[in-house]
Structure 1
Amino acid sequence: MFYIVGLVAAVASFAIGCLWYTALFGAVWQREMGFSDERVSRIFVPGRIALALASELVAALSMTGMLLHLPYDLAVNAVMVAVVLVGAGVKLAVYDGKSLLLIAVNQGYQLLTVAVLTSGVLRFGSQMT
């Protein structure tokens, strides 16, 4: 069950990311990154998409393990994982000179993916240990 939850969470996070960075916040993200339409079209190519999906899978499996095995209850574990992810993301974005709006878009996506994964672990966690 552990691997199934991780796989489903990775696919769900990837799908949410596709929606987040296109229909919901795509124009804001593109403008704040300073990317032309041509540059965006060079970024979203099959090889990069496959690499992004593979990294989502590794992250989802790792986070599933952390949520299940950190020594606190699920809510505390989820908050700790979210704080690490968002904190690291904000730090890198600040040093990269990114705008607060872009930081909010990117880290909002991170928080949403942690919530999705936590929901899966909450639903199926008793079957995974």
Structure 2
Amino acid sequence: MDLDINWVGVLLAALATFVVGGLWYSVLFAKVWQREAGVTDEQLKHGTIRAFVGSFLLALVMAAALAAFIGDGGAGFGTLAGLAAGVAWVAAALGINYLFERRSFTLFAINASYNIVAFTAMGAIIGALQ
């Protein structure tokens, strides 16, 4: 099996998670997410660099794995693969955790939908550039 990964596509896909996350967790759902997650403004002031650097490294891992899966399938396949990964793997796995942790459906909906949108965007970018 020969993996031909476009690393520029992986980088752009990882950056896309920050664009989506910036909208999701500030403009669209900031206060609701904070309340449901139990995160205060004071807590958000600490560890910001670690959170962003760690998130970017993990986004690179996700994008690289998605690129290996998408291969040369193209933008359409990449978009559908990203959507499927977001719904069937990430959101479903979060759902299992949230059920056992007795977390709210609202928090699940915010976090799961972020991942669905982020993975769909990553898949579209990777598929278009592979």
User: TM-score range, shorter-chain basis?
Assistant: 0.7 to 0.9
Contact 2:72 2:127 survives alignment (8 Å): no
Of 97, 111, 120, the match for 2:125? 120
One-letter code aligned to 1:67: I
Counterparts of residues 28-107 of structure 1 (less than 5 Å)? 28-43=32-47, 45-68=48-71, 74=77, 77-82=81-86, 83-107=88-112
Of 22, 29, 38, the match for 2:26? 22
Computed over aligned residues only, the root mean square deviation of the Cα atoms, in angstroms, reads: 2.1
Deviation readout 1:57-78 (Å, 9 max, x if unpaired): 11111112112279xx826634
Deviation at 1:105, TM superposition (A): 0.3
- Name stretches of at least 5 consecutive residues in structure 1 with no aligned partner: none
For residues 69 and 80 of structure 1, the distance between their equivalents in structure 2, rounded to whole angstroms, comes to 17
Number of aligned pairs?
122
For residues 76 and 12 of structure 1, the distance between their equivalents in structure 2, rounded to whole angstroms, comes to 17
Deviation at 1:6, TM superposition (A): 0.8
Structure 1 runs of 4+ aligned residues shifted over 6 Å read none
**TM-score, normalization by structure 1:** 0.82
For residues 36 and 87 of structure 1, the distance between their equivalents in structure 2, rounded to whole angstroms, comes to 27
For residues 93 and 69 of structure 1, the distance between their equivalents in structure 2, rounded to whole angstroms, comes to 35
Contact 2:63 2:122 survives alignment (8 Å): yes
- Name stretches of at least 5 consecutive residues in structure 2 with no aligned partner: none
For residues 81 and 98 of structure 2, the distance between their equivalents in structure 1, rounded to whole angstroms, comes to 24
Q: What's the % identity of the aligned pairs?
A: 23
One-letter code aligned to 2:53: A
